Structure 1
């Protein structure tokens, strides 16, 4: 009977120690999980940015109330425009650039921009490998939407994998927020750019 009581006591101590250790680990993990996430870094607006499949360099941002780059606005609308130089870093022509830039802190009726080639207003062209092209990202806005004098644009990058987990093929995956670039926003007169 003494061995049984002693055995039960050891079991209770072991179980209690295990429970305390588990609670301690769970508490620490919860504490670290509750830490605020780090803000993405501020990227330089005047330098080329390596964003995975694209090398991007923002050129200028402005608000326009006139039709520009083939993008017609509805009556009472204006457009937020970001012009940027994009270079396709892949080995094939591509137009997967829609999510590279996203304005922060502004209410967009549609988060997907219209994108045009600046030199000839071609909408959503494929960009060829190694060629740098000036692209215009155009987000229509309500005419009375407030646009700050300086606006941050989130930059999204992707990671190249020689073999993905599902099909074993190469590609660009796992989009993530690389950082933020802040640009002054000009207000163009009615005549457009």
Structure 2
């Protein structure tokens, strides 16, 4: 081999070695950053009652919480049950009607297994069907409270975000998907008979 070709081979090997070490360092940094973020997740911001919260699909404004035995319809149930109700204003920001509000607002109660809430429209005191896009509604979510569990003095609610994907990875269709929590709200509970 001649001297110039030996130098170019050495230079190429040195360049490959540097590129490989740079890629290895970038991979190690990326992995350590992912581990750190998983170990130290960001805190969910706290919102105050009356503050409008944007979840992506919904605009939610939590107003108040109360406990009672009569649902928002005003008709007592045949089997008396304790209800925990949260009053709120909502606006559906998507392009289609939706009735999935209960996925956006969840009640944080570790000791009680609760069924999903029932949505009531305050304007006509009936069960809510679909919420039309862009139309503000005042809504009451009502959870049936388990017997034997005392109703707390304060409710912690988590407002979950939703993201829109034009094409999802599984079916290739557009839809709204659950995301991380966007806010937490603490509401005092009014005790009604």
Q: What band does the TM-score fall into relative to the shorter chain?
A: 0.7 to 0.9
Over aligned residue pairs, what C-alpha RMSD do you find?
A: 2.8
The size of the alignment, in residue pairs, is 167
Shifted more, 64-73 versus 121-130: the winner is: 64-73
1:72 has 2:77 as partner? yes
Q: Deviations over 1:139-165 (max 9, x none)?
A: 111344222222210111101122222
**CA distance 1:32–1:73, shift in 2 (3 Å):** farther
1:40 has 2:44 as partner? yes
**CA distance 1:31–1:178, shift in 2 (3 Å):** closer
Q: Is the 8 A contact 1:73 1:79 kept in 2?
A: no
1:52 has 2:23 as partner? no
**CA distance 1:81–1:106, shift in 2 (3 Å):** farther
1:116 has 2:126 as partner? no
Report what 1:103 is aligned to. 107
1:163 has 2:140 as partner? no
Q: Deviations over 1:99-130 (max 9, x none)?
A: 11111135444331111112223223111111
Aligned with residue 145 of structure 2, among 112, 117, 141: 141
SS of corresponding position for 1:98:
helix
SS of corresponding position for 2:47:
coil
Could you tell me how far 1:29 is from its partner in structure 2? 7.2
Report what 2:16 is aligned to. none
Aligned with residue 81 of structure 1, among 80, 85, 99: 85
5+ residue gaps, structure 1, are: 1-20
1:173 has 2:173 as partner? no
1:188 has 2:188 as partner? no
Structure having the larger proportion of residues in helix: 2
5+ residue gaps, structure 2, are: 1-23
Q: Distance in 2 between matches of 1:28 and 1:162?
A: 32
